[in-house]
Amino acid sequence: MKQIYITKNEKSLSGFLQESYPLLKTGTLNKFLRANKIKVNGKKVPLNTALKKGDVINLYIEDTYFEKPNKNNAFKFANRNIDIVYEDENLLVVNKPAGISVIDDNWQNYDTLVNRVKNHYFSNNDDCSPALCHRLDTGTSGLVMLAKNEEFLQFMLDMFKDKELEKEYICVVKGIPKQKSSVHNAYLTKNAKDAYVTVTPKAKNNMSKPITTKVNLVESYSDYSLLNVGLITGRTHQIRAHLAYLEMPILGDSRYGINNLNRQLKMKYQALCSKKIKFGQISDKRYSYLSDKEFICPDPWFVESFYKREFK
């Protein structure tokens, strides 16, 4: 049992408890309230009850709920709900929402995709701790693959390194491609200090890397296009920067796009989604069951908006 003395007026019981103990989510508080495990001045009161200086809260719940975030337990404070597209003993494929990082070295940003996955397994009493096989930008939604053991992780890292996976994205851009289907080559130079890349027709320096991007027009209206984009190479910000270089910036992209237009359209995140990942033939007998297997996530929100002609 934990006893808390209120030292100043608070707007609500739930607000005070959630700010003080982040593991006490709304659903958890409701559950404990129904079980008579939350009392104020010895009485059961609604969670929206305002607290006054001098009130006493008694919480008859496990001590683990009073943990504060630190480097070792930060995953417990992440949202535990994940959209699982596929799972077996080696591989986990999830549909990442736009707006969350896949991982963050700063543990104080604890609501990352990796932490959500860890919390999902922890909440189900499973000690599995999948590792990222690749990354997506924070503002990009869609498929992310995680390995559930070290051997498969190394296999997947080699697959991505050797470009043996077919990756397809979907996006909405400002502009219309000159051809319905085309392949574009250029060079990408990364500026790590500014977290920015530059695309040029020729190499700028010895840090420049060749890139190849496939662009397929799905449909267009006015000056907007819905595109399927295939990655032949997989460089940092490749799709976003390459399409901007081709004068087809992705809607909602604050780094390579048109910010005045993004504000006009009230775009919170970039209209870019990792839609499909497909394996080719796999010779490794341990994982040959994944040969030709493909994973596809549902269309993201911006596809419906496009077909409703909401981008104007």
Write out the catalytic residue numbers: 137
Q: Do the beta carbons of residue 13 and residue 57 sit within 8 Å?
A: yes
Tokens found for residue 285? 């007998």
52-58, long-range: CB within 8 Å, 24+ apart, which pairs?
52/6, 52/9, 53/6, 53/7, 53/8, 53/9, 54/5, 54/6, 55/5, 55/6, 56/3, 56/4, 56/5, 56/6, 57/3, 57/4, 57/6, 57/13, 57/17, 58/1, 58/2, 58/3, 58/4
Backbone torsions φ then ψ of 238, nearest 5 degrees: -60, -50
Q: Do the beta carbons of residue 285 and residue 156 sit within 8 Å?
A: no
Measured CA to CA, the distance from residue 213 to residue 237 in angstroms comes to 12
Q: Do the beta carbons of residue 215 and residue 168 sit within 8 Å?
A: no
Measured CA to CA, the distance from residue 75 to residue 219 in angstroms comes to 41
